[in-house]
């Protein structure tokens, strides 16, 4: 059985770190929107926030393309993105049905103030590709964080909620055991 593992959550909630870690220990490929987007920046250049958003939309489409290819081949895959339930749920449900895959959503989240501080720190750190133009989107993020929206995708399957308020308290080994236990239930 193939697995569609989705690591989602709001910006700076730790989803990319967790997805990469799980991919390493489960042996599944990780398809990351930001990874694809950064390759597009390197090939097509970067400009402003609107260009970043356009490449973000293209990156999500490429994520779906690569995920479908993996599932079609009977392989499991991990998707790393801040999916918007209204935009992504139907497509991911189709993948599950078409390829008879089971799913696990891992939803990373933290308090809005913590996420905003992390975002500002990351934007100023120079550790992220400049094409994201994070410094141009701080106010946009601040407003978005004030309006809570559901993070859970409407796709059925298993769901793990991960509180990432304090990265130092995260127990990755425990999360891996939970993920493996859920996967064993359905095998």
Cβ proximity of 179 and 104 under 8 Å:
yes
3-state secondary structure at position 186: coil
Mean pLDDT of the 146-160 span: 88
Domain locations along the chain: 3-185
Q: What is the CATH number of domain 3-185?
A: 3.40.50.300
The model's confidence at residue 87, banded by pLDDT at 50, 70 and 90, is very high
Reading the block at residue 67, the tokens are: 């995920």
Q: Tokens 């978005």 belong to which residue?
A: 144
18-64: per-residue pLDDT in tens? 999 999 999 999 999 999 999 999 999 999 999 999 999 999 999 99
pLDDT, residue 187, reads: 61
- The DSSP call for residue 32 is E
16-27: per-residue pLDDT in tens? 999 999 999 999
148 pLDDT above the threshold of 90: no
User: In terms of Cα–Cα distance, which of 35, 40, 32 is closest to 79?
Assistant: 32
- Sorted by sequence, the CB contacts under 8 Å of residue 96 that are 6+ apart come out as 4, 102, 103, 155, 156, 157
Burial class (CB in 10 A: 0-12, 13-18, 19+), 15: buried
């Amino acid at each position: 059985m193939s697995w569609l593992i989705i690591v989602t959550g709001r910006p700076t909630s730790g989803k990319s770190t967790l997805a990469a870690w799980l991919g390493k220990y489960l042996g599944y490929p990780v398809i990351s929107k930001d990874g694809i987007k950064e390759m597009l920046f390197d090939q097509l250049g970067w400009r402003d926030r609107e260009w970043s958003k356009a490449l973000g939309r293209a990156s999500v489409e490429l994520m779906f393309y690569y995920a479908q290819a993996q599932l079609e081949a009977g392989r499991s895959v991990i998707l790393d993105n801040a999916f918007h339930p209204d935009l992504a749920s139907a497509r991911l449900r189709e993948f599950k049905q078409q390829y008879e895959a089971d799913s696990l959503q891992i939803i990373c989240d933290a308090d809005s103030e913590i996420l905003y501080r992390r975002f500002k720190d990351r934007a100023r750190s120079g550790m992220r590709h400049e094409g994201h133009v994070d410094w141009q989107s701080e106010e946009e993020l601040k407003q978005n964080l004030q309006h809570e929206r559901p993070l859970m995708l409407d796709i059925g399957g298993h769901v793990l909620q991960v509180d990432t308020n304090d990265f130092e308290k995260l127990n990755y080994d425990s999360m891996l055991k939970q993920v493996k236990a859920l996967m064993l239930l359905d095998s």
